[in-house]
Amino acid sequence: MSAQSPERILWTERPSFWNWWPRLLIGDLSLALIGALWWTGQSRWIAPAAALAAVAYLSAAAARWGVRYTLSDQRVIARTGLLSKRVDEVEISDIRNIVLEQSFFDRLCGIGSVGIASAGGDGIEVRFEGIKNADALKERVRQARLGAAKRPAAEAGGNE
């Protein structure tokens, strides 16, 4: 009887800030507004514009902080949420399909999404969105899957 080997983390990352570009744009526009208000002497509106910028930037940071993607030698995991939590995972040995998606804008920004489906599911079960070098991540998942396919044969040989 052999013990299960400890899980090794192969990759972990948070999504790119590009996922929240509308919030960041609102923050940037608010900062531009602050400059225009200061320039024109409309100082009474600077504090509300600064508050809007702070809320926009902080909400983007909190949204990003609430997402963590992990690839280990045993499973892929997408954790989302700060106050509430959702965890989607698929065992590496169960992966049947890996999908890379990149819009034109994603390609310009160097990001993309990787979707993972298992034999037991009807579609994409785990999605890593807004990842830098998404094509390299897709290949890492594929290599992990190939490694998991070889592992049981090697472990079975030692259990005679």
Tens of pLDDT, residues 40-56: 999 999 999 999 999 99
User: Do 117 and 45 share a domain, yes or no?
Assistant: no
Q: Residue 156 — very low, low, confident or very high, per pLDDT cuts 50/70/90?
A: very low
What pLDDT is stored for residue 132 in this prediction?
Answer: 94
Structural domain of 46: 21-62
User: Do 123 and 94 share a domain, yes or no?
Assistant: yes
Report d(CA 98, CA 5) in Å as an integer.
Answer: 25
User: Do 134 and 88 share a domain, yes or no?
Assistant: yes
Contact status, residue 42 vs residue 72, Cβ threshold 8 Å: no
Q: Residue 147 — very low, low, confident or very high, per pLDDT cuts 50/70/90?
A: confident
User: Do 55 and 100 share a domain, yes or no?
Assistant: no
User: Do 129 and 145 share a domain, yes or no?
Assistant: yes
**How many domains does the chain divide into?**
2
Residue-wise pLDDT for 87-142, tens only, equals 999 999 999 999 999 999 999 989 999 999 998 778 899 999 999 999 999 999 99
User: Do 56 and 71 share a domain, yes or no?
Assistant: no
User: Do 73 and 131 share a domain, yes or no?
Assistant: yes
Contact status, residue 147 vs residue 155, Cβ threshold 8 Å: no
What pLDDT is stored for residue 152 in this prediction?
Answer: 56
Is 37 a member of any domain? yes
User: Do 147 and 79 share a domain, yes or no?
Assistant: yes
Report d(CA 157, CA 76) in Å as an integer.
Answer: 26
What pLDDT is stored for residue 148 in this prediction?
Answer: 81
What pLDDT is stored for residue 150 in this prediction?
Answer: 78
Residue 39 pLDDT > 80? yes
Q: Residue 3 — very low, low, confident or very high, per pLDDT cuts 50/70/90?
A: low
What pLDDT is stored for residue 119 in this prediction?
Answer: 83
Q: Residue 157 — very low, low, confident or very high, per pLDDT cuts 50/70/90?
A: very low
Give every strand in the sheet of 75-80, ordered side by side: 9-13, 67-72, 75-80, 86-91
